[in-house]
Amino acid sequence: MNNKEIPYKIYLEEKEMPASWYNVRADMKNKPAPLLNPATFQPMTAGDLEAVFCAELVRQELDDSTPYIDIPREILDFYKMYRPSPLVRAYCLEKKLDTPAKIYYKFEGNNTSGSHKLNSAIAQAYYAKQQGLKGVTTETGAGQWGTALSMACSYFDLDCRVFMVKVSYEQKPFRREVMRTYGASVTPSPSDTTRVGRQILAEHPGTSGSLGCAISEAVEAATAAEGYRYVLGSVLNQVMLHQSVIGLETKAALDKYGIVPDMIIGCAGGGSNLGGLISPFMGEKLRGERDYRIIAVEPASCPSFTRGRFAYDYCDTGRVCPLSKMYTLGSGFIPSANHAGGLRYHGMSSTLSQLYDDGLMEARSVEQTAVFAAAEQFARVEGILPAPESAHAIRAAIDEAMKCKETGEEKTIVFGLTGTGYFDMVAYEKYNNGEMSDYIPTDAELEAGFAGLPKIKA
Ligand SMILES: *Cc1c(COP(=O)(O)O)cnc(C)c1O
């Protein structure tokens, strides 16, 4: 393919870092469906959205036509503290698997938040500051988003109020303390501090919470306080736009060595890391310039793509957020307590949902013990202890590399290693003790979720 020796880690130089984000919607023939107002079921206007979200972020959310959006200087300066992130050739994993496949991973865990989420957190905090707001509210599941947002808010001197899914709040006290160290306030959700939280508690006493509940509480807290807006760490178009920095760097690093991937793999919770990673590659595909296999990997316990419905649904349990047309399990679906907290969301990015429905990408689901087996295998040879979410992508990458071993094909696989798992040691402990189970929802359980879908002609 090329004569240059490919280093273990391909780093871009500072001047090669992307100066704009790429908006894949500009190249889509079938645009993602508009968000709908939960009260009227009419498309959300910028005015409607600005009651909840920062104005500039609303502009980005609704912009389906501008392909490149400049990254403001202040955000680029922050990116430079931890970016470019390395694109690593997994030589040791390839050797261990004895596969002819070439495996690369884009590592986003090299910052204190331990994940890719800081890429969007810093952008959202910047626009909130520009607008003169006092602070922002948000939800966090596993805690990575809350941590990233706390870091971003402290950098721009904004107040940060985080509603943390109760099960994570209890299981991950250390992540909670990182957030507090950065000055955020952290409330376990559902809580009695909001009307919607009290209502959820009354209907589901003893619930361990879900992202959908925490979102409802955070939105209520934002709209109830003067000078606050709500920010979200995934699912929305704006988040995927900011995360395109991952894909743009990956593409630039591959181009530098003349490498063309055959497949690109990422884990999918709300779809932001996968969407960001694949954006420039999907752009080439949409413009008919090149073809790639693109694979989304999700937990078998929360299978939005592989077993969900493509329909309008609420983004939150309390039904205060706009509706999005997406692959969904229903906003009332509460997944079993699997250990990849960041992948427990009932829905999926509307942009990725449209691309998937148009047959431009694939999806598969994997069970959690198989995911941890892949995480362990990877950690032992590649020296990074992966986040359970990221290990979904590792599982699929290893499976594809093993298929290459059978066929003798030298395919090039790129996957997103979205973060580190140091705060997930309770999950690793369960796995090491042989106490981890694989819960897969029954069809009847999924039907119960679908029964709650709003009746809207999409
Ligand atoms: C949040 C998170 C994810 C999943 O979120 P997406 O929006 O689907 O990317 C994956 N990996 C890690 C480490 C996360 O923190």
27-63: pLDDT as tens digits: 999 999 999 999 999 999 999 999 999 999 999 999 9
- Confidence band, pLDDT 50/70/90 cuts, at residue 3: very low
Pairing status of strand 362-366 against strand 293-299: parallel
Residue range 243-260, pLDDT digits in tens: 999 999 999 999 999 999
- Confidence band, pLDDT 50/70/90 cuts, at residue 1: very low
Atom index in ligand 1 nearest the CA of residue 387 equals 13
Pocket test of ligand 1: the residue of 149, 151, 234 to mutate, having most ligand atoms within 8 Å of its CB, is: 234
Ligand 1 centroid to residue 224 C-alpha, Å:
28
Rg of the Cα trace of the chain? 20
pLDDT at 345 over 60: yes
Pocket test of ligand 1: the residue of 105, 113, 151, 272 to mutate, having most ligand atoms within 8 Å of its CB, is: 272
Ligand 1 neighbours (beta carbon < 6 A): 115, 117, 144, 234, 267-274, 342-343, 387, 389-390, 418-419
Residue range 184-199, pLDDT digits in tens: 999 999 999 999 999 9
- Counted residue by residue, the chain has a size of 458
Question: In 103-194, which residue ranges form alpha helices assigned H by DSSP?
Answer: 118-130, 144-156, 166-171, 173-181
Ligand 1 centroid to residue 407 C-alpha, Å:
32
Where would I find the beta strands (DSSP E) of 176-230? 185-189, 228-230
Atom index in ligand 1 nearest the CA of residue 390 equals 11
pLDDT at 276 over 90: yes
CB distance 52 to 311 below 8 Å: no
d(CA 378, CA 393): 11
CB distance 300 to 395 below 8 Å: no
Closest CA to 6 of 189, 373, 256: 256
Ligand 1 centroid to residue 37 C-alpha, Å:
26
Residue of minimum CA distance from atom 3 in ligand 1: 342
Contacts of 233 (CB under 8 A, 6+ apart): 117, 120, 121, 138, 140, 144, 145, 148, 149, 239, 270, 272
157-160's contacts with Cβ under 8 Å and 24+ in sequence apart are 157/129, 158/125, 158/128, 158/129, 158/133, 158/134, 159/134, 159/135, 159/183, 159/228, 160/135, 160/136, 160/184, 160/185
Pocket test of ligand 1: the residue of 106, 110, 111, 115 to mutate, having most ligand atoms within 8 Å of its CB, is: 115
Contacts of 71 (CB under 8 A, 6+ apart): 18, 19, 20, 21, 79, 123, 245
Surface-to-core class of residue 158, CB atoms within 10 Å of its CB (0-12 exposed, 13-18 middle, 19+ buried): buried
Residue of minimum CA distance from atom 2 in ligand 1: 342
Residue range 397-452, pLDDT digits in tens: 999 999 999 999 999 999 999 999 998 998 999 999 999 989 999 999 999 999 99
Atom index in ligand 1 nearest the CA of residue 420 equals 13
CB distance 275 to 349 below 8 Å: yes
Pocket test of ligand 1: the residue of 343, 356, 392 to mutate, having most ligand atoms within 8 Å of its CB, is: 343
Residue range 156-172, pLDDT digits in tens: 999 999 999 998 898 88
All structural domains of the chain:
20-70+116-230 (3.40.50.1100), 80-114+243-450 (3.40.50.1100)
What are the residues facing 365 on neighbouring strands? 298
Ligand 1 centroid to residue 343 C-alpha, Å:
7
Describe the crossing of helices 425-432 and 368-382 by its angle, rounded to 10 degrees.
Answer: 100
Contacts of 248 (CB under 8 A, 6+ apart): 18, 21, 22, 279, 280
Helix (H, G, I), strand (E, B) or coil at 85: coil
